[in-house]
Structure 1
Amino acid sequence: MLETLPFFANTGLGEGTLWTLVIASYFTSALTAAFGIGGGVALLAILSMAIPVTTLIPLHGMVQMGSNAGRAWHLRQHVKWSFIAAFSLGALIGTAIGSQIVIALPDALLKVVLALFILALVWAPNPKFIRGGALTNAFGGAISSLGSMFVGATGPLVAALVAGKADDRQGVVSTHATAMTIQHGLKIIAFGMVGFAFSTWLGLIVAMIATGYLGTITGGKILRVMDEKLFRKIFKLILTALALFMLFKGVQGLL
Structure 2
Amino acid sequence: MLASPADIPYLASLLEGLAQYFPLSLSIVCTLLLLALLTSAMSAAVGVGGGTLLIMFMAQLMPAAALIPVHGMVQLGSNGGRMAMTWRHIDMRRLLAFLPGVALGALVAAWVLIRLPEGVLELSIALFVLFTCWGPALPKRALSRTGTLIAGAITTFLSNLIGASGPLVASFIKQGGGERHAKVATFAACMVAQHLTKAFIFGMAGFLFQEWLPLIVLMIGAGLIGTRLGLRFLDRVSNRHFDGLFKWALSLLALRLAWLGSASLISH
TM-score band w.r.t. shorter chain: 0.7 to 0.9
2:84 aligns with 73
Report the identity percentage.
33
Match of 1:26 among 22, 29, 37: 37
1:179 to 159, 176, 190: 190
Q: Which SS does the other structure have where 2:31 is aligned? A: helix
Q: In the TM superposition, what is the alpha-carbon distance from 1:197 to its structure 2 partner?
A: 1.0
Rounded to whole Å, the distance in 2 between the matches of 1:50 and 1:122 is: 28
Q: Give the structure 2 partner of residue 127 of structure 1.
A: 132
- Check if 1:168 corresponds to 2:186: no
Match of 2:11 in 1: none
Seen in structure 2, the aligned counterparts of structure 1 residues 145 and 35 have a Cα distance that, compared at 3 Å, is closer
Q: Given the two structures, how large is their TM-score scaled by the length of structure 1?
A: 0.74
Counterpart of 1:191?
Answer: 202
Corresponding residue for residue 50 of structure 1 = 61
Name 2:73's counterpart in structure 1: 62
- Report the CA distance between 1:176 and its aligned residue: 1.3
| 8 Å CA contact retained: 2:143, 2:176 | no
Q: Is the 8 A contact 1:7 1:203 kept in 2?
A: no
CA–CA distance in 2 between the matches of 1:3 and 1:46? 25
Q: TM-score, structure 2 length as denominator? A: 0.71
Change (3 A) 1:163 1:22: same
Contact 1:145/1:183 (<8 A) preserved: yes
Q: Secondary structure at the match of 2:21?
A: helix
Partner SS, residue 228 of structure 2: helix
Residues 128, 168 of structure 2: 8 Å contact kept: no
1:154 aligns with 2:165: yes
Deviation at 1:93, TM superposition (A): 1.0
Cα distance change on mapping 1:164 and 1:89 into 2, 3 Å: same
CA distance in 1 between partners of 2:51 and 2:92 (Å) = 24
Measured after TM superposition, the shift of residue 145 of structure 1 is: 0.3
Separation in structure 2 between the aligned mates of residue 207 and residue 70 of structure 1, nearest angstrom? 14
Q: 1:93 to 1:197 in 2, by over 3 A?
A: same
Flag the 1:74–1:26 CA change in 2: closer, same or farther, 3 A.
Answer: closer
Match of 1:117 among 108, 113, 122: 122
Specify the structure having the higher radius of gyration (Cα).
2
Letter in 2 for 1:44: I
List alignment gaps of at least 5 residues for structure 2.
1-13, 237-243
Partner of 1:205: 216
1:2 shift after superposition: 6.0
Partner of 2:7: none
Say which SS state the counterpart of residue 75 (structure 1) adopts.
Answer: helix
Q: Which amino acid aligns with 1:8?
A: Y
Contact 2:90–2:182 (Cα < 8 Å) also in 1: yes
Q: CA deviation at 1:220?
A: 7.8
What is residue 21 of structure 2 aligned with on the other side?
A: 8
Unaligned runs of 5+ in 1: none
- Cα distance in 2, alignment partners of residues 221 and 56 from structure 1: 30
The CA RMSD over aligned residues, in Å, is 3.9
**Deviation string for 1:78-121 (max 9, x for gaps)?**
2222222221111111111112245x98xxx99x56x9639964
Of residues 88-97 and 130-139 in structure 1, the stretch that sits farther from structure 2 once superposed is 130-139
Alpha-carbon distance in structure 1 between the residues aligned to 2:64 and 2:156: 17
Q: Is 1:95 aligned to residue 106 of structure 2?
A: yes
